[in-house]
Structure 1
Amino acid sequence: MKSQIPILILLGLIALFPVLVFRAKDDNKNKVYLAYVLLILPYMSFDLMPGLEEFTVFDLLSWSYFFVFLFYNRPGRNSIFGLLGYAVLIILLIGVFNSDFFWRSMMSYLRFVSVIIFAKVLLTELKEDPDFFMQLMRMLKIVLLVALIFMGLQMIFGVKISVTFSFLSGNFMNPNIDTIEGIRYPSYFQDPQKFAQFIAALSFVFLIYDKKRSKALWLNLLLFLVAVVSLFLTGGRGGLLGLVIGLGFLYLFFPMRYKLLFAVPVVLLFMVISLYKQNFVMFNRQTDTNSALDERTGFWLDALTIYNKHPLMGIGVGNYQLYTERYKPDNYWYAQDEITFFDQPESGYLKYLIEFGLFGFTVFILFLIIPLVRSVYLYLVGVKDERLLILVASPLSWMIGFITVCSLTDVRIFIVVTSLTCALIHVMQQADKSLAEREAHLPYGKNAIA
């Protein structure tokens, strides 16, 4: 049964938001909005319109901040990423009007606009105050630590405390949590697979630390190890694969001194796994990878039949579940006396390809791919900023897990992925500036770089 106390606390926090923003100085208003969203992240997905269409706390904060402040004080453009943001909004809006389920699609579209507002504010703040970058990293570390602490509480008091704290919609618990192999801990998320992606992406921020503090390195490495061990308790193989690929990417490009430094925690991690393997649900799952892949392949083929009917503009953002109910009614799962039709085809990329169409999906992917590719290029041509590699590994690890589960349906993960991508864009733009300044002082321009 849900307690009313967390809801009352949440309402108090919502009421406090405009007070803090109005009292803040003009150059701190963006920081108040960003910090508020991140530091009460568990409640950002709380539905303020139950029984109607989903309108969350995050939507309320973002839209109210937009109309009161950003509408009258529009920040400047952010180069190609601003254009990509506007392009995807226009394409998705066309898809909304072309959709068979206009109202549902429009509400999902407004959610997407909320994320764009958040990204715009964050990119602007990072551009105007570069020192805010480390504040952002600290807040993201707090976000992950809060999730891990709550997972610890679930291990003590049971996973249903998520319902008590009003983190879940209704009293519904995902059937993937309590399995015959053991409990897969989801923290304050509804799906442990999404939590695994969340850990995989955010764990890398512990590798960014204040180098002026001698103890910061070992403390952050310890917290990184704690995050990795916690991932095993989720049972999410997609998240684990993403983490491994992210670590492999860092090992490939990092200087030798960092490779040797990483050897210590990696050895400790393997020792923990070998000694306590039976205690991790990750290694006790009875469904083998091939069986899971065969099952997902069936879902993907069903989904492609929907895509083939709407290849260019898609079916409208947020409409996959309604199309499943109408055209693929056998794609559902049954739990706690409720039938729930699939809201994704067990692939984040395929879901958005179907909903956005080819045009919208291409723009959406470019927003992720461009900073990743450009950052690796900048590092290779001589901008030796390790933050470039770490912030590539972070969204890269999430992108791997996204192949099998669309975690962005949880707005809290959407916020985190957006934050990490914006942080990468900021560091990439700084590296671009550094490279341009260096080339300006070279006698033969770009070709003089060794």
Structure 2
Amino acid sequence: MKELILKIIPYLVILLSFYAILKSKQPGKEYLLFILYFYPIIYSADSVYSAFQFITYFYFLYSLRNNQPLFSNSKFGISLYLILVLFLGALSSNFVSNSILGIVKFLPIIIFIHVLISECLKDKEFVFRVISALKFTLAISVAFLFLQIVLGLDFSLTTMENPNITFESIRYPGIFQDPQKHAQFLSALAFIALIKKPGNKDYSKYSYYLFGAAVIGLFLTGGRAALLGLVLGIFFIVLFSETKVKFLGLLGILLIGAIVVSLSQYLIVFSRGESLGDSYAVRNAIWQDAYKMYFSHFWLGIGIDNYSKYVEIYFPDQFWLVAGEKVFFDHPENGYLKFLTELGTLGTLGIFAFILNAITRGLHTFLVKVKDFNIIFLISALLSWFLGFYSVYSLGDTRIMILIATITGVLVVYAQRYNEGVLIVK
């Protein structure tokens, strides 16, 4: 019964999105908000294609009906460059058709980013509706996590088993299939919970509760890298704060550290069966194989979505046993190496050029124009993900890709507000 329901839900979501977009007078905004508010169920690890992809392609085709093409108000040089590199990488790979399908699955996120930036630039206040939607997503996911604790791991949005969940001790995946991806999700969104609309003097208790719930949930995922990412984000905030806040922030970090040390045996994130040394040894062996693939296809990579295909042939010892069947790794336990192996140097540079450019421009706006800490919170969210990304290719889950794309797009637009002379009352 559960499997049937989980199979039906994506189709219902797709049909509902079509109706919402067709009926809306502002289809671009409707499309974005629909994706963010229906975030938990727009992707399933059980499906080859996600509801997000169907919805995005429908909106793209629907947008062609008017005289303003989707990319007319956006600069898309990086996007065009990346698509070209991916296509060349696919043609030069050993699995051309598989890689072409990978490009088809990847293109919707580029469309999503352009719609997001375009709509936020047209309506300067819409960016805060996007942020509110992200907070709503976090609240729903936290509620789902605590229900999962009460009802058990069978309360999930996937029928696929993941060895990481109960391999050493229980690590809660929440709305995801992999607890490591859940950890990165919570670590990044914890900082988004702190964002307030300029003009509001105080944070609401809701923001503090949401931040605290995200941190508690992070500990329950057992994600060590994501936890370090959270600490990095907090340190980044403290770095740009006033002296008093710096002192209190560092004191808080020391206090949390003392609590963690004293209670480490009770926390999943520290009581996992494997030590950090053992974990590194296992990962390092996989990384060495990935390095061989990368240097053999230095510029264009082996082709997007081709990692498991290459592993099955050249490194057949990289697999999980799921329900008695071999499932070959689709990433080398490192997000950066996943990009380097599949997209090569040229493709990886294209991906990170967009994110790093947003961070650089945002930081410049904060240091030179206005001390708006919303910019720092957005950058902290991305830095948190950056650190956690080294341990797992979280972008394999479309929802994480949407999250990082949304945060980056919001950062671009938010900094642009000040570059265009928008007056913000503090």
Contact conserved, 1:239 with 1:401, CA < 8 A, in 2?
A: yes
* Residue number in structure 1 paired with 2:69: 74
Pick closer, same or farther for the CA change 1:373–1:210 going to 2, 3 Å: closer
Q: Quick one: which amino acid aligns to residue 172 of structure 1?
A: M
Structure 1 residue 291: Cα displacement:
2.0
Pick closer, same or farther for the CA change 1:63–1:280 going to 2, 3 Å: same
Q: Deviations over 1:66-86 (max 9, x none)?
A: 01114743143434xx21111
Q: Deviations over 1:208-266 (max 9, x none)?
A: 02465566433212211111111000000010011111111111012346547757976
- 1:419 matched to 2:411? The reply is no
* Residue number in structure 1 paired with 2:57: 63
* Residue number in structure 1 paired with 2:20: 20
* Residue number in structure 1 paired with 2:126: 132
1:150 corresponds to which of 121, 130, 144: 144
In the aligned structure 1, how far is the partner of 2:64 from the partner of 2:218?
38
Q: Quick one: which amino acid aligns to residue 403 of structure 2?
A: V
SS at match of 1:282: coil
SS at match of 2:269: helix
Contact conserved, 2:10 with 2:42, CA < 8 A, in 1?
A: no
In the aligned structure 1, how far is the partner of 2:37 from the partner of 2:261?
36
1:390 corresponds to which of 362, 377, 380: 377
* Residue number in structure 1 paired with 2:154: 160
Contact conserved, 1:321 with 1:344, CA < 8 A, in 2?
A: yes
SS at match of 2:327: strand
Q: Deviations over 1:88-116 (max 9, x none)?
A: 01110111222211222112111210100
2:33 corresponds to which of 23, 26, 35: 35
Structure 1 residue 136: Cα displacement:
0.7
Structure 1 residue 271: Cα displacement:
8.0
Q: Deviations over 1:319-377 (max 9, x none)?
A: 00100001111111223212111111111111111111111111111111111122223
- 1:4 matched to 2:20? The reply is no
Gap regions ≥5 residues in structure 1: 438-450
In the aligned structure 1, how far is the partner of 2:37 from the partner of 2:190?
17
Q: Quick one: which amino acid aligns to residue 33 of structure 1?
A: Y
* Residue number in structure 2 paired with 1:247: 234
SS at match of 1:176: helix
In the aligned structure 2, how far is the partner of 1:243 from the partner of 1:55?
31
Q: Deviations over 1:44-84 (max 9, x none)?
A: 22379x5xxx22111100001101114743143434xx211
* Residue number in structure 2 paired with 1:175: 163
Pick closer, same or farther for the CA change 1:45–1:346 going to 2, 3 Å: same
- 1:379 matched to 2:375? The reply is no
SS at match of 2:346: helix
Q: Deviations over 1:101-146 (max 9, x none)?
A: 1222112111210100110100101100110111111100111111
Contact conserved, 1:225 with 1:265, CA < 8 A, in 2?
A: no
- 1:344 matched to 2:338? The reply is no
- 1:118 matched to 2:116? The reply is no
Contact conserved, 2:13 with 2:51, CA < 8 A, in 1?
A: no
Q: Quick one: which amino acid aligns to residue 336 of structure 2?
A: Y
Q: Quick one: which amino acid aligns to residue 309 of structure 1?
A: S
SS at match of 1:389: helix
Pairs aligned (count):
421
SS at match of 1:283: coil
1:98 corresponds to which of 92, 99, 103: 92
TM-score by length of 1: 0.87
Structure 1 residue 12: Cα displacement:
2.8
Q: Deviations over 1:254-287 (max 9, x none)?
A: 2346547757976885687577544420121232
Contact conserved, 1:104 with 1:318, CA < 8 A, in 2?
A: yes
In the aligned structure 2, how far is the partner of 1:332 from the partner of 1:8?
30
Q: Quick one: which amino acid aligns to residue 365 of structure 1?
A: F
CA-based RMSD: 2.4
- 1:232 matched to 2:227? The reply is no
Gap regions ≥5 residues in structure 2: none
Contact conserved, 1:316 with 1:355, CA < 8 A, in 2?
A: yes
* Residue number in structure 1 paired with 2:276: 289
SS at match of 2:164: coil
* Residue number in structure 2 paired with 1:353: 340
Pick closer, same or farther for the CA change 1:141–1:262 going to 2, 3 Å: farther
